[in-house]
Structure 1
């Protein structure tokens, strides 16, 4: 079963997602320049909301390069209790050796080569392994340094150590019951066995109309400057645009179940509860997700105006082609809503709707009745909208 979420959301002056030059991201679509918000930015905004929409801390994940620092802090006696504030050198050495035996190389700052997506219990598992094998890990680290100084081939010793640590690495990188890894997937460059196929696909949001980026010229004055002294003490520019975006994401519940519970033959009641809460969290978080770029200076904190959800047995329809020709002039939200619904109906009529289990539509500004939306597919509130979707999933 697949859930699709289509949203129309208008933002005033904003720079939600910047490129390398600090300008709002954009894309040419249908021969016109459009505003764009990357899928990565939207996923990050949604992930940050998971604790607010029904997921506990142990059910989410961290994206980090700092496993060594976190685990070493747990190993250092008295840290944060009036004693040392940073992990000791010996504790760093122990964790460094453990991570190397698991196949993860570290840079000069003891950071992993790339961001690792791990469950929040990974640090505790790593610290426990280091605590239980402290003496051996210290000895292995000393031997490694001696081999390095002597410039000897250490391939055999390293392979054996890696084999010994494999099960621990599997436990630390176990993605089961970590909802955001199950939803958005994971790629581990050094070991494909730890890769996770995403259960949720998220499109880049694009504006339904053409946009032109603008810039704000600002100045600032030193509050303690003498009264007779004129001129600004800082000047600069901030780029921004304003746009109505079409957002699309889908969720494959079968893949989500496999990611959360592995090959478990028959999930128990707690597993089913986690699956339901993960689905609800995904739906509610993406509806509420707003990227954080330049929000302190622009406060573009709007909510979606039009929401369309589809529950289907298989397949998926991104409705971006409803806006292949940019929406012109005024009344952008109303025209965008009309186009999105008409395009959905055209696809429904041509390809058939036998796979559709449920459709839910809500709009704050458009008359859904006049648009021809069936009464049983309309929702007058967010709880009613999400209820239509999640009720079908429960059934």
Structure 2
């Protein structure tokens, strides 16, 4: 049975530059024929991962690490060993798994579970003598070719380590290694680019800085510059395939529930870090709606194909929540399932009272998510 859990957020940010393009300007997009503020899905995924760590929402042993510095991480875990010998054994073990090194780093970013990293360290310790002196291939333009020469038993164990390690963020967001398709993991979670519910224009802040040690004969600023910014009410959307998540977590039902509870908290608390020292736009969502879908996911962004317009008597946030509710009702009539359920946290007091279970705070919303999914998994 398909079961998707959707997250629909309306979040108003004060003047900010949360996610920049290559020119330093806030990212944007044309939607419905109008320019909208945009924060990329990749930016929010990282913010979700950081929020999860900051609030300790996932146990360390079930976290993932995105890095090229796997060799350095393993050296830290083998610090009691002679370094030159440890480096050689690490390279041999990684080569056994099919991982290539270039200037002591993997040739691309790896997304590994903590258990996978610990597994490599344990493997090296257990097979230390067998790995000592095992060649890893010829040097070619600074890159060590991953040619396994370790004993077959070690090669088999090394390759078996790359199973995702039951890391929650790897299970949610997936990973792809082009030359090692066997260790790829399809994401259980899809995150949309956040877009403003209304039309936006870029603004410019012309700033100056004074030299504190400037003499009386020095006039003018010590530095001048400008930075682009905007202010926008965003619609954010993400959906998690609960069955796929449980599969990625190797069938661990309790960990699946903990992962969904952690994602609920992190999704709501996530705020990108771009230019925050300049703008301090720490603005939490005004509306968080969670929907359990039993047929297929429904992104409600088309509620804002016609952009919301500023009014003196209503906030953009309130209008956005109202437009979201109207669009949801319209789509649910045609594409919904009678088993679908909503719970929501609404600071705008705009979402219809009869359209789901209203909760008082984020903790209550998290409990609701966990209870509903627990019942569905048991069924």
**Do the aligned residues in 2 keep the contact of 1:310 with 1:389 (CA within 8 Å)?**
no
Q: 1:125–1:390: structure 2 CA closer, same or farther, 3 Å change rule? A: closer
Q: Secondary structure at the match of 1:243?
A: strand
Structure 1: give runs of 5+ residues left out of the alignment. 79-86, 150-154, 263-270
> Is 1:379 aligned to residue 362 of structure 2?
no
After the TM superposition, list the runs of 4 or more consecutive aligned residues in structure 1 that deviate by more than 4 angstroms: 159-165
Q: Give the TM-score normalised by the residue count of structure 2.
A: 0.89
Residue 345 of structure 2 corresponds to which residue in structure 1? 362
Residue 256 of structure 2 corresponds to which residue in structure 1? 275
> Is 1:37 aligned to residue 39 of structure 2?
yes
Residue 266 of structure 2 corresponds to which residue in structure 1? 285
Specify which structure has the higher proportion of helix: 1
Residue 202 of structure 1 corresponds to which residue in structure 2? 191
Residue 231 of structure 2 corresponds to which residue in structure 1? 242
Q: Secondary structure at the match of 1:296?
A: helix
How many angstroms does 1:256 deviate by?
0.8
**Do the aligned residues in 1 keep the contact of 2:123 with 2:158 (CA within 8 Å)?**
no
How many angstroms does 1:57 deviate by?
0.5
**Do the aligned residues in 2 keep the contact of 1:69 with 1:92 (CA within 8 Å)?**
no
Residue 294 of structure 1 corresponds to which residue in structure 2? 275
Residue 76 of structure 2 corresponds to which residue in structure 1? 73
**Do the aligned residues in 2 keep the contact of 1:176 with 1:259 (CA within 8 Å)?**
no
Q: Give the TM-score normalised by the residue count of structure 1.
A: 0.85
> Is 1:335 aligned to residue 319 of structure 2?
yes
**Do the aligned residues in 2 keep the contact of 1:14 with 1:300 (CA within 8 Å)?**
yes
Structure 2: give runs of 5+ residues left out of the alignment. none
Greater Rg over alpha carbons, structure? 1
Map 1:1-395; keep pairs closer than 5 Å: 1-51=3-53, 52=55, 54-77=57-80, 88-108=83-103, 110-141=104-135, 144=137, 158=147, 161=150, 164-262=153-251, 271-330=252-311, 331-356=315-340, 358-368=341-351, 372-374=352-354, 377-395=357-375
Q: Secondary structure at the match of 1:360?
A: strand
Post-superposition CA distance 1:288-320 (Å, at most 9, x none): 111111111111001111121111223110000
* Worse-superposed segment, 119-128 or 292-301: 119-128
Q: Secondary structure at the match of 2:133?
A: helix
Supply the distance in 1 between the matched residues of 2:99 and 2:316 (Cα, whole angstroms): 50
Supply the distance in 2 between the matched residues of 1:139 and 1:360 (Cα, whole angstroms): 60
Supply the distance in 1 between the matched residues of 2:35 and 2:246 (Cα, whole angstroms): 39
Give the aligned length.
Answer: 365
Q: 1:374–1:121: structure 2 CA closer, same or farther, 3 Å change rule? A: same
Q: Secondary structure at the match of 2:260?
A: helix
